Structure 1
Amino acid sequence: MTNAKTIEMARKMLSAGNGAAYARLISGAIRSAMSDRAANAFRKAVSEDGAERFFDKLDTSCPTAA
């Protein structure tokens, strides 16, 4: 799945009110990202969505859903 598709799916979960599923999907994507560029794209999406509150250690290489 592409990064854009993953972000799109996560945003659908967030808009449906399921922040925990959003956080699990994005944190898993960051951990499995093959490059810093990909991981930063996911982190950027989180900040654009204002969803930082759903994460612990978001700025590390191993973020977890809160």
Structure 2
Amino acid sequence: MPLWICSACQRPWPCPTRRWELLGEYAHAPGDLALLMASHLAAASEDLSWAAPATLHRRFFGWLA
């Protein structure tokens, strides 16, 4: 995942399909989903050090509502 691209659709991860899947998988544990995404955000921040922090934050958390 160093580039954080979906292997199925080649879109930035989490792509719309993966977001939908994650929401289903964590429907009864939204706090756990937030922790998972925080973990991914931390890793992505290292891998994508050139990306703006606000952009990464929107990418990993902007869809959680």
Fold in common (TM above 0.5): no
TM-score, with structure 1 as normaliser:
0.44
Higher Rg of the two aligned structures: 2
TM-score, with structure 2 as normaliser:
0.45
